[in-house]
Structure 1
Amino acid sequence: MPQKDYVRASRPKPASKTKGKARPARGAKAQAASQKPWILIGLVLCVLLAFVYGLWFLRQQAPVVTPPEAPAPAVTVKKDELPPKPVAEPYQYIEELKNKEVTVEVTEQRRSGPAQLQCGSFRQQTQAEAMKAQIAFAGITADVRRTEGTNGVWFRVVLGPYESRRAATVDMNRLRQMGINTCQVRNWA
């Protein structure tokens, strides 16, 4: 297998020489190159001279002498004294609150009657049985009820009856966690 020279392959190729381009005169390029170092040297010398002058100027300034401070006279600090305690309490609300009785009217919560969950209503019994199987995977027992109405036969997937709407809501939330979002709480009749 032949060896490949990766060093030469990565070098850029020299630019091709074309006859149509005009070249600048050699003298102008050489003259511009010779002026650049002198300009740079001149700038550095100017900055250096300004720095030296600044140091010399600071040295010529007279030092500022501050007179020594006399010790401050001792000042006695007075303690903050509290105002005298009042003889009688000016406000009566404190005594009124101690002796006040508050009566609160408590209304008894009305208990909701039994409730049920309806999770689906289908035209075909096989669809209702499939929904019942999904609910069974959540560990809840469901029933499929056949109902006849003015618009035909329906198969409803029903859970319950539950003692209250709150108990039905607990199972509805468990089913929502399993991905069954079609359940609704209804009053049991």
Structure 2
Amino acid sequence: MNPTDTDLQALVGPQFQALADALTVEPETIADAPSLCEGWSVRHVVAHVTMAARYDGPAFMRELAAAGHNFDVLSETIARRDSALPFDTLLDNLRSDTMAAWTPPGGGSVGALSHVVIHGLDITAATGLPRIASDEATRIVLSTLTGSGAQHFGIDVTGRFLRATDLDWRFGEGPALEAPAGDLILALAGRPRPGVDLSRR
């Protein structure tokens, strides 16, 4: 049975919480470590994913207008500016009720779940931490990225068989590509991963 929006939203908060917990272990050393997001450290990524905790609807629209209604410019501006906040404040934002209930405009609950799982991997894969998203959340994001969500990142999985090696998930038919679930998600989201080449047929 497919999960409902309520089911999906119930998974969002725990993934934000798990990311905060993982980053609390060594906050002084990990905050400024590079992430997989080009030019962004861990603190930049956390500032980005927790934007909604600091900007309500009207404040967000003001920021968007100031950025010329260009979301990429807005994201870069806020990530750079708010990364200067105390890292403990950003970790508290990850744990906030606001982020647990947040959905991106037009993305719904599955968009919120994909957002935290993918950006969580941008941090953990770059810093050598294990995947922190639950297996359930990870399977849902994998299925989203191999379905309609794949169009967002321009990744073509036609004619490929994908299988996660660390949980029960598989997709498609064709030449096999087997890798840990986190690496598959990152590759499907357009992040190059060693040994995971989705361009090969």
TM-score over 0.5 for the pair: no
Q: State the TM-score, normalized to the length of structure 2.
A: 0.16
**Higher RCO (Cα < 8 Å, 6 or more apart):** 2
Q: Which has the higher strand share?
A: 1
Larger Cα-atom Rg: 1
